[in-house]
Amino acid sequence: MLDAEVIIVGAGPSSIALSHTLKHKLGLNDFTIYEKTDGPGGVWRSNTYPGVGCDVPTILYSFSFNLNPNWSKELCEGSEILQYMESTVDKFDLRKHMHFHIECISANWNEKGFWEVHLRDLLTNLEYTRTAKVFISAVGGISKPRDTKFPGMETFQGEIFHTARWNHSYDYRGKRMAIIGNGCSAVQVVPEVANDVAFVKQYARSAQWYHERPNRSFTALEKWCFRYIPLLERFIRLRIFLASDRMVAAYGSTVEAENLRAKAEVHARDYIYSTAPAKYHHFLVPDFPLGCKRRIFDPDYLETLHNPKVELAPHGIESIDQTGITSTDGVRTEFDVIVLATGFEVQQFLVPMEVYGRNGRSLFQQWKENRGAQAYMGTYVHGFPNFATLFGPNTFPAHNSVLFAAEVQVAYIARTLIAPLIDRRISTLEVKQTVENQWVNGIHAQLRGGVFEAGCSNWYINSNGRNSASWPGYASTFWKQSVQPQWNVFIKMPHSRWWVLHRLKRLVVTTSPQVYALLGLILLLNSQNTIVATTVSNVLGAAGSFVNVFLGY
Ligand SMILES: Cc1cc2nc3c(=O)[nH]c(=O)nc-3n(C[C@H](O)[C@H](O)[C@H](O)COP(=O)(O)OP(=O)(O)OC[C@H]3O[C@@H](n4cnc5c(N)ncnc54)[C@H](O)[C@@H]3O)c2cc1C
Ligand SMILES: NC(=O)c1ccc[n+]([C@@H]2O[C@H](COP(=O)([O-])OP(=O)(O)OC[C@H]3O[C@@H](n4cnc5c(N)ncnc54)[C@H](OP(=O)(O)O)[C@@H]3O)[C@@H](O)[C@H]2O)c1
């Protein structure tokens, strides 16, 4: 028995983008989203640590189908982004498709051509199975906290938690706090807690590149303009997108890229020297190229290092005991609370969910044999029909909005898999193994010699030395590759010879009332044979072709 046509796992931003497309662009209502937490929003729901926020201007870090004229500032805090995610879900009536507190444990493709998806209700512990024609993973790439273990950690008698699992019932005011790590999460926490704790000691075993992060609040007039001046916010968004994309030019291995990088490094070094206390300068400036680790846009962290309550220890962790930490330089310090800002299991895509494709083939096994996760366009995996993954391998933009990449993938999946299935043009779709391998080899060839593998420790590279995370070029290139899908890369099982009729039906159903009104107007004007009629129909024709080429499914 078929319960749902499409099952999506995860209700983060990628899933919201996908469900909006399914419902409002493709007219599909037969889809269900299973989410293990208590609501939508993904990382913005689980990361509630003090200072959590966006480092991509929020006008860009938002959905193209729901621009927000009310952003309070250029780079918003996590709570405001979560509120935006929630309101997007309600505005587009997506919540009724979402089931919370449900974890997907595994999924397998059966011989009848369906996905059997095994779920666990986290409130009742009951396990059950649902069947779907399409199975889509939207479990996120930076979602599962890294399971860091330090010798003696289990004996610590104070509080210990990860940034992505912040314990809000613990009052850290006046307490002695340790923060382990100096990635984006850690440097957002330090300035927020510095004045409230007894002291904070941060353990950082390697350096980072820091840049200014000006963050201005929008005035009431600006918000009014965003709301009422047509296309203004969209234009600003495009400008931010292009500026962010230009940064990528400094990440390659060409002489031009090296020159650009050198300039950016000079700028960042000047910023570090002019902002941070001199006693930390020797440690703060990295000896690896800029971009090797994700650049940090400084939320007043370097300035906070002047605070006498803050100490930066440029060391790793030797051990933890009942009341304190001994760092790798042998110094022991006592603490009440330890914050693990130690990052995420980025390389373990989909873990711990098990996925089995044709002939019971395990996705993890397949990826293990490939020395890392891989997918054609970061989306499709050979041997796994009607399966797609959002924010998948090699889709992480170097410094752009992940939402852009997710929306590109969503449109690609809609065009290549969902629309043809709804139209009954195909019954299954699977990428060819040779195509997947060639595409992935191409990505790795582009990544070779670039900054990501310049010798620093980062979360892009897996234990086999393969970069399964990064998209190697411009975010706009990813979009260009997805816009005109190559159909011969897929193995497709044809479905109905009458698919054109189904396509027409979908066109009729999904065409908006405004378009029908415009068509009516054109017909009316045409019957009068005026020059206006010809102009209107020409403009609409041109707009129609644009929409068809760039957005059509
Ligand atoms: C603190 C933080 C700040 C960030 N800031 C930025 C930024 O400024 N700009 C940017 O572009 N990116 C940023 N990112 C990256 C961020 O991961 C993406 O922007 C975005 O959240 C990806 O959305 P997603 O829906 O793919 O994944 P997620 O947001 O990770 O959502 C995945 C969802 O799937 C659920 N899930 C996972 N496994 C299961 C399962 N087995 N069963 C059921 N549900 C499951 C999770 O609970 C979660 O809700 C940030 C990440 C973090 C952690
Ligand atoms: N919008 C934002 O500003 C924002 C905020 C938070 C997160 N994010 C996203 O999430 C990603 C992850 O950020 P993150 O800061 O959570 O993680 P991260 O960048 O992976 O940083 C983890 C930190 O923990 C340290 N660490 C890990 N294991 C350790 C160990 N065993 N001993 C000592 N130190 C250890 C790392 O040191 P080494 O570097 O030496 O390994 C690093 O300093 C970011 O890159 C970004 O994409 C964005």
Q: Which residue has a Cα nearest atom 36 of ligand 2?
A: 181
CATH number at residue 456: 3.50.50.60
Whether residue 552 has pLDDT greater than 60: no
Task: Please count the residues of the chain.
Answer: 553
pLDDT of residue 534 exceeding 80, the answer is: no
State the pLDDT at residue 284: 96
From the list 486, 457, 388, 391, the residue with the least C-alpha distance to 428 is: 388
Cis amide linkage into residue 314, ω under 30° from 0: no
Residue 504 lies in a domain: no
Is the residue at 269 inside a domain? yes
Long-range contacts of 89-92 (CB under 8 A, 24+ apart): 89/11, 89/16, 89/40, 91/66, 92/19, 92/20, 92/23, 92/24, 92/65, 92/66
> Average pLDDT for residues 271-293, to the nearest whole number?
96
Span of 123-132, 198-207, 357-366, 538-547 with lowest mean pLDDT? 538-547
Q: Are 423 and 503 in contact (CB under 8 A)?
A: yes
pLDDT tens digits, one per residue of 375-403: 999 999 999 999 999 999 999 998 899 99
Asked, for residue 11, whether it belongs to a domain, the answer is: yes
Interval 347-356 mean pLDDT: 94
Whether 197 has a pLDDT exceeding 90, the answer reads yes
Least reliable range by pLDDT among 83-92, 264-273, 394-403, 516-525: 516-525
What domain range includes position 423? 4-144+346-494
Q: What's the pLDDT score for residue 551?
A: 43
Residue 543 and residue 445 share a domain: no
Indicate the pLDDT class of residue 526, thresholds 50, 70 and 90: confident
Q: 374: which DSSP letter?
A: -
Find the mean pLDDT for residues 507-524. Answer: 80
Sequence-separated (6 or more) residues with CB below 8 Å from residue 275: 210, 298, 302, 303
In this prediction the pTM is: 0.94
Are 373 and 347 within 8 A, CB to CB? yes
Contacts of 313 (CB under 8 A, 6+ apart): 201, 202, 203, 204, 327, 329, 331
Domain end, chosen from 340, 370, 400, is at 340
276 lies in the same domain as 332: yes
Give percent of the chain above pLDDT 90.
84
Q: Which ligand is nearest to the CA of 81?
A: 1
Question: Is the distance from the beta carbon of residue 12 to the nearest atom of ligand 1 less than 6 Å?
Answer: yes
Of 285, 313, 340, the domain-final residue: 340
**Span 38-80, pLDDT tens digits:** 999 999 999 999 999 999 999 999 999 999 999 999 999 999 9
Q: pLDDT class for 450, splitting at 50, 70, 90?
A: confident
| 472 shares its domain with 525 | no
Pairwise CA distance, residues 190 & 200, whole Å: 8
What does the pLDDT read at residue 550? 41
Q: Tell me what the mean pLDDT of segment 471-497 comes to.
A: 93
Our answer on whether the CB atom of 81 is closer than 6 Å to any ligand 1 atom is no
d(CA 407, CA 203): 37
Ligand 1 lined by 139 (C-beta under 6 Å)? yes
Across all residues in the chain, what is the average pLDDT? 93
Share of the chain above pLDDT 70, in %: 94
Question: What does each C-alpha distance from 239 to 32, 236, 425, 482, 520 come to in angstroms?
Answer: 36, 5, 39, 21, 36
Atom of ligand 1 nearest to the CA of 49: 1
State whether 75 and 211 are in the same domain: no
Is there a single domain that holds both residue 42 and residue 179?
no
Q: Are residues 281 and 400 in the same domain?
A: no
CA–CA distance, 231 with 227 (Å, rounded to integer) = 9
Task: Look at residue 59 and tell me if it is in a domain.
Answer: yes
Which residue, of 340, 355, 385, is where some domain finishes? 340
What is the pLDDT at residue 519? Answer: 81
Q: Which residues does ligand 2 sit against, CB inside 6 Å? A: 53-55, 142, 148, 163, 180-186, 188, 204-206, 294, 316-317, 341-344, 457, 459
Same structural domain, 222 and 185: yes
Instruction: Supply the Cα-derived Rg of the chain in whole angstroms.
Output: 25
Q: Domain for residue 506, yes or no? A: no
pLDDT at 353: 96
Which of these ranges, 152-156, 308-312, 532-536, 540-544, has the smallest mean pLDDT? Answer: 540-544
Residues 359 and 335 in one domain: no
Name the token pair of 280. Answer: 């930390």
Beta-strand relationship, 324-327 and 317-320: antiparallel
Q: Count structural domains, the chain.
A: 3
Residue 194's closest CA among 171, 211, 176, 214? 176
pLDDT at 536 over 70: no
Kindly give the pairing relationship between strand 127-137 and strand 387-389: parallel
- Say whether pLDDT at 545 is over 80: no
Q: 352 lies in a domain?
A: yes
Residue 535's pLDDT is 67
Cβ neighbours for 68, distance < 8 A, ≥ 6 positions apart:
58, 59, 62, 84
Residue 382 in domain = yes
Q: Are 363 and 357 in contact (CB under 8 A)?
A: yes
- Best residue among 9, 37, 43 to mutate for probing ligand 1's pocket (most ligand atoms within 8 Å of CB) is 43
Residues 317 and 170 in one domain: yes
Residue 379 lies in a domain: yes
* 470 & 529 share domain: no
Considering the domain architecture, whether residues 33 and 126 belong to the same structural domain is answered as yes
User: How far does the centroid of ligand 1 lie from the alpha carbon of residue 389, in Å?
Assistant: 13
pLDDT above 80 for 412: yes
- 247-280 pLDDT, tens digit each: 899 888 889 989 999 999 999 999 999 999 999 9
Q: Are residues 61 and 194 in the same domain?
A: no
**Which segments within 407-450 are labelled E, that is strand?**
426-431
Q: pLDDT band at residue 532, thresholds of 50, 70 and 90?
A: low
